[in-house]
Every structure is written in structure tokens, then in C-alpha cells.
Amino acid sequence: MNLPNMNDAKKRTKQNVKILYDDYNTSNLENIGKDKQYLILTYGCQMNVHDSEYISGIMEDIGYTKTDDMDNADVIIVNTCAIRENAHNKAEGMLGRIKHLKEEKDNIIVIFCGCMAQEEGLVNKINKYKWIDIICGTHNYHKIPEYLSEYMNKGKVCEVYSIEGNVIENLPVVRDSKYTAWVNIQYGCDKFCTYCIVPYTRGKQRSRKSEDIIDEVRELYNNGYQEVTLLGQNVNAYGKDFDNDYDFADLLGEVASTGIPRIRFVTSHPWDFTDKMIEVISKCDNIMPYIHLPIQSGSDRILKLMGRKYTIKEYLEIIEKLRKNIPNVSITTDIIVGFPGETNEDFEKTLDIVNRVKYDLAYTFIFSPREGTPAAKMKDDTSMEEKKARLARLNELINKYALESNQKMKDKVYEVLIIGPSDKDNKYMGYTPNMKLVNVNCDETMLGKIVPVKITEVKTWSLDGEIASGE
Ligand code: 5AD
Ligand code: SF4
């Protein structure tokens, strides 16, 4: 048994991380899933969604097949998120259902993994639940085959590493889409924003080698993928852990030169956004004009308490450069309301910034204290009622600008990558270069293609369109 420890997770050493190409191994376990099914439930960010694609790859590598029906599953994997209390609650609600199922069908194997499994207090609790069979964290899910075998031979397994592992290459992967793909460029985060649990749950920053990233993108392109999204907690800091000065701008340039039609990246941090990056984005047609740049608050005082290390003035300078150099760029953001000590005046400053930047979209959250982070210990005397009222005001403003930016697109034609059926009126959905969701009146032969679409109707969250070819 190996339990996580938040103090160890906080430590950062200079020691170089190893890139391992043959650490995943399933010798003698290739068939343990023969004729059996697994179900995977995923909570949280794109990083977790992509981890689940790897976990699926691993499960299928050892003979399991995927099911979406919990009643048919022999193995249930819960890949959890720890970012806010409500992410916890969702996973815990699901655990209640699984417990019930396990009471009826004792032979199901339950695997609890992901970011919640990296939390010290929580794992101590979960580990006592007899009906959870395997607990592993974000650093060691590649060992699930070993853990399954150990469980089958000896019973319950709990192994979570507090200190991040190495970069593990060559894991099998089963991707959710045939047209768009996530590509990890870096793991972990060293920023330690005071509210955030991620540097603890995902460990220190570890960049993948650029050669491995480029090989992956080339292979995806050769296999018909039209779009890659480069993934990291902090993509602009890519390479800062290398001994040389190769950086994210260099990587973007190289990925662009593979010729893959569309490149996106998330998430950016204003601190590391350089002019060189903006120049590469503006020069390469296949880097999409869409930047997600979390601001978190419009008040310098709160930004300082959050440990964000930029001022509003610096943030606005980046926005100005982005707008000036990247035509039709969409800018989205994340905002936290009700951070400890946020006054009405601070909150008004956040509204001011939204009025200035006029975001295409923003993800807004009420501050959620995470155990073990500095902000969880800060004095917070704003009532939840007041925080909810602030969030509602903010959302109203965000929605107004989202609709306004969509309205500018009406009757114009955009290239849309059609990625799947839409839940509306037998249409298909896709995204414009600037990441607007469009429900398109077309048939399935358009799947996986980039087609010109005329925007016929606009709403706050999506657009409607028709194929424009021949016009
Ligand atoms: N409380 C509320 N929101 C948070 N986020 C991260 N940590 C917290 C927290 N403790 C938000 C930030 C981040 C996004 C992914 O989640 O806005 O950018
Ligand atoms: Fe993603 Fe953070 Fe949630 Fe982990 S805690 S799944 S890194 S959002």
C-alpha cells in the first residue's frame, strides 16, 4: 500500500525527469480481460479525458472490450477530478451507485483513479471502502494491468505516488474521435496559484520531448486526423524544464510544419505568453485563431493573493497584441468569483475587465477551498449568498458578450470541421477556426471534412449553418 502525501507532492527537485519508452509492460497479462468488458467514467478537464483514452487503450490491450452499460461491466473505472467541491460531489454520487451494484454483483472490479486519488485525506477515507478494489493516481495508471493481476491474486490494491513519476511514452491509446485528437505536450504544473490543487495532484512540470510530440502529430495526420489540440496545464511554459532554450513557440512552429490542417492548444498562462509565440501563431495558417487565456480576477490585489504573478495591465497588453496580430481571434477565459477577501470593489473590477475584453466565452466559478492549498486557509467572510449573486451578475455579462461576438458571424462563411452528429434536428456539429460550435444542416458524408458553412442563425452558445459550397 502506498498513500499520497500533500507535503511530498509540493516538493520540487531539480532532478531531471526520465523519459521512459518501455516502462509499460503487460507480459503474461495480455488475455486477462478476454471476454470481459470495462466501463470508464471520466470527470474533469481535457487532461483527464485524454488520460481516459490511454486507460481505454491499456484495457483493450489486455483483452477487455468497452461497454457503456454499467450492468454489463466486469470492471468499472472512475477517473476523478479534484478541482472544485462539485467535482468531488459528482464522483462521490457515482460511487454510491457503484456500491449498490457491487452489493448485487460481487465480482465487479472497481478502480478509483485520477486527481481525487492524489488527495491525502480523501484516499485515507476511500481506502476504507471495502467495495473499492484498486486505487491508483495520475502518475501510475499505466500499471493498471499489474494492479488487476495483483488484485485477482491477492486482493485490494492501493498505490498512489506523491512525487510524480517519469514521462511514460508508448502507451496504447483508444481515441474518442477519428478526426480531432488530444496530444499531451507536458504534464504537471509548477505555478502554485494559491487556490489550485493541480500542482499537488499532477506533480511538477515535465515536458515531453519535441521529437515524440512531432512523431505523434505526424502519425495522427497520416491516419486522417484533421486537428490536434496540444495539451498541458500551462502550455506556454513548455520546455522550461529542459536544459536548452527550446520553447513553446519553437514547438508550435514545428507542429505547424507537419501540415496537419488545424492546431489548437490549451491552457495558456499569461505569465509565460511571449511575443515570439504570438508571431508564430500569426504566421502559421494552421494554428487556429483561438486563445484560452485565464484571467481569474480583474483586481490586481486579488491576483496577488492568488499568486498569479501578472497585473491587469500586463494581461491587457497581451490581449492587445493578440487582437492586433491574429485576425478574427477568439479569446476565452476562466474567472473565479468570491476568492477569500474579494470585496465588492474587487468584483466590480472583474466586471470592468469583462467589459473591456469582451470575451467570446468565459468559464466562471465560485471559489472552492481545496484542502492543503494556501487559499483554503485564508480568511473568507463573504457569504455564499453574496458569491452566488456576484456569479449571476458576471454570467449575465459574459452571456451578453458571447451573443454579441456570435452575432458578428451571422451570414458570413467559415470553414467548419464536422466532427459528429449533433443532438439537434438530425444535424451535424463542427467547429469554426475560432472555436465556435456550429450545428450544420448536412449529411454524414461531411464527417471529418473541413467545409465552408454559412452562418444562418446565432445563439449565445452555438450557431446554426448551411453548407456554402457552390455559392
Ligand atoms: N475554486 C474555484 N475555481 C477553481 N479553479 C481552479 N481551482 C479552483 C478553485 N479552488 C478554476 C480556475 C481554473 C479552472 C480550470 O478552474 O479558474 O482556471
Ligand atoms: Fe483536470 Fe485539475 Fe480536475 Fe485534475 S483536478 S482532472 S488536472 S481540472
Residue 362 clears pLDDT 90, i.e. is over it: yes
Q: Whole-number mean pLDDT of the chain?
A: 95
Span of 10-24, 28-42, 232-246, 455-469 with lowest mean pLDDT: 10-24
Ligand 1 mutation target, pool 365, 377, 382, 384, most atoms within 8 A of CB? 365
Ligand with smallest separation from the Cα of 117: 2
User: Would you state the pLDDT for residue 429?
Assistant: 97
Residue 469 clears pLDDT 80, i.e. is over it: no
CA distances from 282 to 233, 274, 385 (A): 23, 13, 44
Rounded to whole angstroms, the Cα distance separating 361 from 97 reads 34
CA distances from 135 to 3, 163, 165, 166, 409 (A): 9, 16, 16, 19, 48
Report the pLDDT averaged over residues 248-263: 98
User: Would you state the pLDDT for residue 16?
Assistant: 73
pLDDT confidence tier of residue 178, bands split at 50, 70 and 90: very high
Taking alpha carbons only, the member of 255, 238, 256 closest to residue 247 is 238
Residue nearest to atom 3 of ligand 2 (CA): 81
Of the chain, the percentage scoring pLDDT greater than 70 comes to: 99
User: Would you state the pLDDT for residue 470?
Assistant: 60
User: Would you state the pLDDT for residue 8?
Assistant: 86
pLDDT confidence tier of residue 366, bands split at 50, 70 and 90: very high
Q: Beta strands 437-441 and 428-431: pairing type?
A: antiparallel
Q: Ligand 2 centroid vs 464 CA: distance in angstroms?
A: 32
DSSP code for 152: H
Contact 37, 68 (CB under 8 A): no
User: Would you state the pLDDT for residue 389?
Assistant: 98
- Residues 254, 258, 263, 267: is their CA dihedral positive or negative? negative
pLDDT confidence tier of residue 175, bands split at 50, 70 and 90: very high
User: Would you state the pLDDT for residue 441?
Assistant: 94
Span of 15-24, 89-98, 263-272 with lowest mean pLDDT: 15-24
Secondary structure of residue 216 in the 3-state scheme: helix
pLDDT confidence tier of residue 14, bands split at 50, 70 and 90: confident
Ligand 1 mutation target, pool 83, 198, 368, most atoms within 8 A of CB? 83
User: Would you state the pLDDT for residue 49?
Assistant: 98
DSSP code for 118: G
Rounded to whole angstroms, the Cα distance separating 386 from 333 reads 22
CA distances from 154 to 133, 147, 151, 157, 272 (A): 11, 10, 5, 9, 48
Secondary structure of residue 463 in the 3-state scheme: strand
Q: Ligand 2 centroid vs 415 CA: distance in angstroms?
A: 32
Residue 154 clears pLDDT 60, i.e. is over it: yes
Ligand 1: list residues with CB < 6 Å.
Answer: 83-84, 195-196, 294, 296, 334, 336, 365, 367-368, 370
User: Would you state the pLDDT for residue 426?
Assistant: 78
pLDDT confidence tier of residue 164, bands split at 50, 70 and 90: low
Rounded to whole angstroms, the Cα distance separating 162 from 155 reads 23
User: Would you state the pLDDT for residue 2?
Assistant: 85
Residue 423 clears pLDDT 90, i.e. is over it: no
User: Would you state the pLDDT for residue 100?
Assistant: 95
Rounded to whole angstroms, the Cα distance separating 350 from 312 reads 10
Beta strands in 232-356 (DSSP E): 262-266, 290-292, 330-337
Q: pLDDT digit string (tens) for 317-360?
A: 999 999 999 999 999 999 999 999 999 999 999 999 999 999 99
Q: Beta strands 75-80 and 37-42: pairing type?
A: parallel
